[in-house]
Structure 1
Amino acid sequence: MSMRVTFLGTGGAVPTTERGPSALLVNREGERLLFDCGEGTQRQMMRYGTGFTVSHLFVTHLHGDHILGIPGLIQTWDFNDREDPIAIHAPPGAKRHLRSLVNAGGYQPGYPVNIHEVRPGSVALSGDGYEVRTFETEHRNVRSMGYALVEDDRPGRFDRERAEELGVPVGPAFGRLHSGESVELDDGTVVDPEQVVGDPRPGRAVVYTGDTRPVDETVAAVDRPDLLVHDATFGDEWADRARSTGHSTGREAAEIAARAGARRLALTHISSRYAGDPGPILNEAREAFGGGEVFVPDDGQKIELPFPDERDGRGE
């Protein structure tokens, strides 16, 4: 089962010619989930070929660089004769403001736009084989929260050789055992799943913080996420600015990633001060993250996330 993450917008509050405002798209086996929707997100989706059919949009907070792409995207879907509803998930208190944004200029979409306020520390969405959880973040002058997409555990590996030794006939009985059902053989012997199926295997997890200071809630969101996408607006020389504006430095993001046991760290929301070279942010983060993989994605960069026990995928 594939999971692809596309970085649609990796810049800070002020876009540059190379980095657009915040937006991240996760394609999980054809289901597209969009996290934040900065200005121009719909064009980024077209430019980078992510596909356009999104089922859920998750908003971290109401600052413009995270939401001003919503009106255009809503209207473009309408022009393309969309009929399916779109669900927008956002922090408490956001519904009224988002509804005004959806109806900008008196516009009335021709399909349902359902806006859900979600408390931090809850489940925003229970999907097919996964859920999207929320956690509190800390940003300036606004209610903000991050999201963790967490897949269900998968069944353990099926030991075919052991099953045959126990007399299980090749065929449908194998599948029943692997799905957790006991099987009775012709001689009356009962073979239980735990005799031929290994321990459950973890699914994948992606954590997206939006704009935030380094907080314990990010660490607690998921143990050993496969990918942590964290605010890294500034380098060390602007650490005071990061504190006063409710952002993180690359080093602070890496310290959070190390505490969480993240396998990969993506540094985003890069300030326009680093338009020419985000190297200082990346280098400082690498010092703090140790041996894990850390990178500053470009707009349009895609990465495939393999399952933890099959990890060999790399960024494109």
Structure 2
Amino acid sequence: MTLRVTFLGTSGAIPTAERNPSAIHLNREGEQLLFDCGEGTQRQMMRFSTGFSISRICLTHVHGDHVLGLPGLLQTLDFNDRAEPLTIHTPRGTADNVRRLISALDTRPAFSLEIEEVGEGDLVHRGEEYEIRTFPTEHRTRSVGYALIEDDRKGRFDRERAEELGVPVGPAFGRLHAGEPVELEDRVVEPEEVVGPPRPGRRFVYTGDTRPADATIDAARGADLLIHDATFGDDWADRARETGHSTAREAGALAREAGVERLALTHVSSRYAGDASRLAREARESLSGGEAFVADDGMEIDVPFPE
């Protein structure tokens, strides 16, 4: 089952020739979600072939480098005769800001557009075998992060054991795997006899702009992919604290504590436009052997199941 992340924008507040402002596209088995929508996001979607069939946009906060792409994207969707509804989630107390930004074009999309405020720890959306929840972040404005958490999957079916117990090959296997007992001539075979324990689904976490925070550790516990603010390196650690951002080393330490499988560093300051390799190096040193990398615009990551 596909869980694919495409980095549409990985720059800090100031874009560079290589990096667009913040935007993350996620495709889960054909359902498309957009996290943040910096200036030029619609062009990045065309450039990197994600398509425009997004069902919802999740905003971490309403600073310009995370939302200025909304008017253009919505206008393009309207010009393309979109009929499906679209929901925009935004932190509590910011819906009017988003409405004013969209209405600045003096146009109203023909498709249904809902703007919903979300608080800290809210269930944002319940999808097919997954949910999206918010968690509090620490920035200089109202802000949240988002965690997409898949339901547990069925345990592995032990065909060999089932056959040893006399279960006939065929539909009975499916019933046992679905949790139903199967009655044989001499006994009843219970599902737990041939089906292993539930297996975890995947966990995707995106922080947006933030200082390192305990709430992020909780949300990212065991995450298969954590996308974390890493605006600065050690050389600008004071600036990170002043502006409500994180260093790469701090992101690495947080990922280590949360037991994260993979850490993607994003929101890279234009100070590192020529070479951001130091950010990956500092994060890896802090992560102590885990996988950490600086995300680039256009990078595509498939998130596997945690087997």
Scaled by the length of structure 2, the TM-score of the pair is 0.98
Question: 1:87-113: CA deviations, max 9, x gaps?
Answer: 111110111111122222211110111
- Aligned position for 1:299: 297
Q: Is residue 277 of structure 1 aligned with residue 275 of structure 2?
A: yes
Question: 1:227-275: CA deviations, max 9, x gaps?
Answer: 1100000011111100000000000111111111001000000000100
**Letter in structure 1 aligned against 2:173:** F
Question: 1:155-210: CA deviations, max 9, x gaps?
Answer: 0000011111112111111111111111222x162211101000111111111000
Helix, strand or coil for the counterpart of 2:105? helix
Helix, strand or coil for the counterpart of 1:244? helix
* In 1, Cα distance between equivalents of 2:301 and 2:85: 28
Question: 1:96-144: CA deviations, max 9, x gaps?
Answer: 111122222211110111111111112111110101110000111x100
Q: Is residue 150 of structure 1 aligned with residue 129 of structure 2?
A: no
Map residues 91-106 of structure 1 onto 2, 5 A cutoff: 91-106=91-106
- Aligned position for 2:249: 251
Which contiguous aligned blocks of 4+ residues in structure 1 show a shift greater than 4 angstroms? none
Helix, strand or coil for the counterpart of 1:121? coil
* In 1, Cα distance between equivalents of 2:64 and 2:91: 15
Cα contact 2:220–2:226 (8 A) shared by 1: no
- Aligned position for 1:56: 56
**Letter in structure 2 aligned against 1:242:** A
- Aligned position for 2:71: 71
Cα contact 2:120–2:144 (8 A) shared by 1: yes
Deviation at 1:279, TM superposition (A): 1.8
Q: Is residue 242 of structure 1 aligned with residue 240 of structure 2?
A: yes
Helix, strand or coil for the counterpart of 1:201? coil
* In 2, Cα distance between equivalents of 1:259 and 1:250: 14
Cα contact 2:162–2:194 (8 A) shared by 1: yes
- Aligned position for 1:195: 193
**Letter in structure 2 aligned against 1:267:** L
* In 2, Cα distance between equivalents of 1:134 and 1:193: 35
Q: How many residues align?
A: 307
- Aligned position for 1:165: 164
Gaps of 5+ in 1: 310-316
Same amino acid, percent of matched pairs: 65
* In 1, Cα distance between equivalents of 2:85 and 2:94: 19
* In 2, Cα distance between equivalents of 1:116 and 1:177: 42
- Aligned position for 1:314: none
- Aligned position for 2:32: 32
- Aligned position for 2:110: 110
* In 2, Cα distance between equivalents of 1:84 and 1:182: 42
- Aligned position for 1:133: 133
**Letter in structure 2 aligned against 1:229:** I
Cα contact 2:84–2:111 (8 A) shared by 1: yes
**Letter in structure 2 aligned against 1:27:** N
- Aligned position for 1:23: 23
Bigger Cα displacement from structure 2, 131-140 vs 173-182: 173-182
Scaled by the length of structure 1, the TM-score of the pair is 0.96
Helix, strand or coil for the counterpart of 2:256? helix
* In 1, Cα distance between equivalents of 2:90 and 2:256: 28
**Letter in structure 2 aligned against 1:183:** V
Question: 1:36-85: CA deviations, max 9, x gaps?
Answer: 00000011010001121001110000100000111111111111110110
* In 2, Cα distance between equivalents of 1:14 and 1:161: 59
